[in-house]
Chains A and B, each alone.
Chain A
């Protein structure tokens, strides 16, 4: 079997593809193990529902999200061969995606503040209203 040959003048050099399938199988095992760890953590959350503090629950979820990012890195850089491309090209793909960092922070914070408003009846919960009324009455007397 001879290696494939491009006649494309656009391509200055071919990335190295001479390696065997060892790396592919290695990444398969990495992805599988990361997934199993994620599932174990997910199962832990299920077993401990209502028994653990919010902080522990949230930290576990953050760890699961980080493991997901690791899986995404391996899929994109090895399976999609982005890691073999030249740096300029990698940057045109990755840099725009960095916007997601801000999207996630901004929108989740917005959702959270929405919840706070919902729970305080747009900042004027009946309890608060009563308190304000009492205070005003007290001030008048």
Chain B
């Protein structure tokens, strides 16, 4: 990277100087981030270990295939790409804020801090949508008692197991209660939900079974129990970092606006906040890899 000539005879360890040529605050920010990297690393490695230890894991292209306002369209990787680009772009505006700080350009720092804060908020909004979508999702899966049920994705259960064969599904439908058959039938015609539910209750089990099997419904086994805990745990922990990063950035924006850094003669606090913000982006790169891509 940038090559700097170190003055001849510099004695790094003689006291009064930082042996790393970095201020105490920045060194400590780096060491904090290193410890945080170990925390995230431990989480992700634990997730990988569990994922390697089972025969079937949830297929990300199946779990994350929705996009806001796109209804039931199958769009694997689309929404998470948007989230990734939002975070990369907010990383760029952050580094531009640091750059303006180096040139003591108060207005420039303010502008880019605002853009970074908006990027962070947009990412959090995306994550809130994704969580809501999973937690309120309705997918038909076969429970361990052999009956079918409509399941969301939570830390306790999820419908992301292997597909049921036609024979398995027909056998499961025979065992399923009237109440559950009605619930499954009403997931078939979304939009006309209320009307669908009303007519469905009046039907007999056999009629419902015919309707469901004729619809070409895709049913699965229940998914690996650990999936929800790892997904919500790790993306939640990352999302909490994004949230605290946005709060730190707002504080930095206000301090810039009030002229605190201009008075101080340098914008090093923006650099430290920037380190934290880039770290959040860095972690997302790995979360993106482990949960969505592979």
A: residues with CB less than 8 A from B are 1-13, 15-17, 21, 24-25, 28, 31-32, 35, 38-39, 41-43, 45-46, 49, 61, 64-65, 68, 71-72, 75-81, 83-86, 88-89, 92-93, 96-97, 100, 103-104, 107-108, 110-112, 114-115, 118-119
| Across-interface contacts of A28 in B (CB, < 8 A) | 88-89, 92
- The residues in B between 1 and 37 inclusive whose CB is less than 8 angstroms from any CB of A are 1-2, 4, 6-7, 10, 12, 16-24, 27, 30, 34, 37
Contact of A86 with B102 in the complex, beta carbons under 8 Å: no
Contact of B92 with A16 in the complex, beta carbons under 8 Å: no
Contact of B278 with A75 in the complex, beta carbons under 8 Å: yes
| Across-interface contacts of B22 in A (CB, < 8 A) | 11, 85, 89
Contact of B49 with A68 in the complex, beta carbons under 8 Å: no
B: residues with CB less than 8 A from A are 1-2, 4, 6-7, 10, 12, 16-24, 27, 30, 34, 37, 41-42, 45-46, 48-55, 59, 61, 76-77, 81, 84-85, 88-89, 91-92, 94-96, 98-99, 101-105, 265-268, 271, 274-275, 278-279, 281-282, 285-286, 288-289, 292-294
Contact of B265 with A1 in the complex, beta carbons under 8 Å: no
Closest 4 A/B residue pairs (Cβ): A111-B52, A83-B1, A114-B53, A111-B49
Contact of B34 with A93 in the complex, beta carbons under 8 Å: yes
Contact of A4 with B30 in the complex, beta carbons under 8 Å: no
| Across-interface contacts of B294 in A (CB, < 8 A) | 42, 45, 61, 64-65
Contact of B41 with A21 in the complex, beta carbons under 8 Å: no
Known: A28-B92, A46-B61, A75-B281. A35 touches B51 (CB 8 A): no
**Cα distance, A45 to B60, chains bound together (Å):** 11
Known: A61-B294, A80-B275. A31 touches B104 (CB 8 A): no
CB-nearest residue of chain B to A4: B266
From B4, B61, B94, A49 is in contact (CB under 8 Å) with B61
Contact of B2 with A64 in the complex, beta carbons under 8 Å: no
Within the complex, what minimum Cβ distance (angstroms) separates A84 from chain B? 5
**Cα distance, A49 to B252, chains bound together (Å):** 47
| A to B CB contacts below 8 Å, 16 in the list | A4-B103, A12-B7, A12-B10, A13-B4, A17-B103, A21-B96, A24-B96, A75-B285, A78-B95, A79-B274, A80-B274, A80-B279, A83-B2, A100-B41, A108-B45, A111-B48
Contact of A31 with B103 in the complex, beta carbons under 8 Å: no
Contact of B49 with A13 in the complex, beta carbons under 8 Å: no
Contact of A103 with B41 in the complex, beta carbons under 8 Å: yes
Known: A10-B16, A21-B96, A75-B285. A84 touches B48 (CB 8 A): no
Q: In terms of DSSP, what is the predominant structure of the interface of chain A? A: helix
From B53, B84, B104, B278, A111 is in contact (CB under 8 Å) with B53
| Across-interface contacts of A7 in B (CB, < 8 A) | 265
CB-nearest residue of chain A to B54: A115
Contact of B23 with A5 in the complex, beta carbons under 8 Å: no
Contact of B7 with A68 in the complex, beta carbons under 8 Å: no
Known: A21-B99, A97-B34. A72 touches B282 (CB 8 A): yes
Contact of B293 with A64 in the complex, beta carbons under 8 Å: yes
| Across-interface contacts of A25 in B (CB, < 8 A) | 92
Within the complex, what minimum Cβ distance (angstroms) separates B3 from chain A? 8
From B20, B24, B286, A88 is in contact (CB under 8 Å) with B20
Contact of A93 with B266 in the complex, beta carbons under 8 Å: no
From B34, B51, B59, B77, A39 is in contact (CB under 8 Å) with B77
Contact of B92 with A24 in the complex, beta carbons under 8 Å: yes
